[in-house]
Amino acid sequence: MQIPPLGAVAPIQSPFRPSGASSPPGAGPSRDSSFGDMVTKGLQSVSASEKSADSMVQGMAAGKPVQAADVMIATSKASLSVQMLVAVRDQAVGAYRDIMNMQV
């Protein structure tokens, strides 16, 4: 079972790169991926790992030969993915609040 990590965090750095700095083509995240795309991708990844863990738990409850360790690993992956998503969301909302509370 291959669950891709939430690698979507990388694109958040790209808007803050100096515009003159040229990144090698093909290396690093694409510059035109928006924050919304990143969150959508992250949500999809979290949803996939949740579904995977859910099916394993169901299989175990149904008496299928699923090993307990495998179920716990799948649920751990899902839990960590959610924690990662929440952490990214907290950072994003925090940045937004910092801007909104700025004195002008």
Partner 1 sequence: MIGFDTFDVGRSGLTLSKTWLDVIANNIANVNTVHPAGQQPFRASYVVAQEIVGPGTGPTGQGVRPVGLVEDPSTPAMVPSPGNPLADANGNVTRPVVDLAVEMTNMIMASRSFEANERTIETARDMYQAALQIGK
Which residues contact partner 1 (rule: CB under 8 A)?
A: 1-5, 7, 9-10, 67, 69-70, 73, 76-77, 80, 83-84, 87, 90-91
Q: In the complex, what is the shortest distance from the CB of residue 64 to partner 1, in angstroms, rounded to a whole number?
A: 16
Nearer to partner 1, 1 or 102 (CB): 1
Question: Is residue 57 within 8 Å of 71, Cβ to Cβ?
Answer: yes
For residue 15, how many other CB atoms are within 10 A of its CB?
Answer: 11
Q: In the complex, what is the shortest distance from the CB of residue 84 to partner 1, in angstroms, rounded to a whole number?
A: 6
DSSP string, 53-96: HHHHHHHHHTT-S--HHHHHHHHHHHHHHHHHHHHHHHHHHHHH
Residue 53's closest CA among 89, 45, 84?
45
Nearer to partner 1, 96 or 103 (CB): 96
Q: In the complex, what is the shortest distance from the CB of residue 104 to partner 1, in angstroms, rounded to a whole number?
A: 26
Nearer to partner 1, 37 or 90 (CB): 90
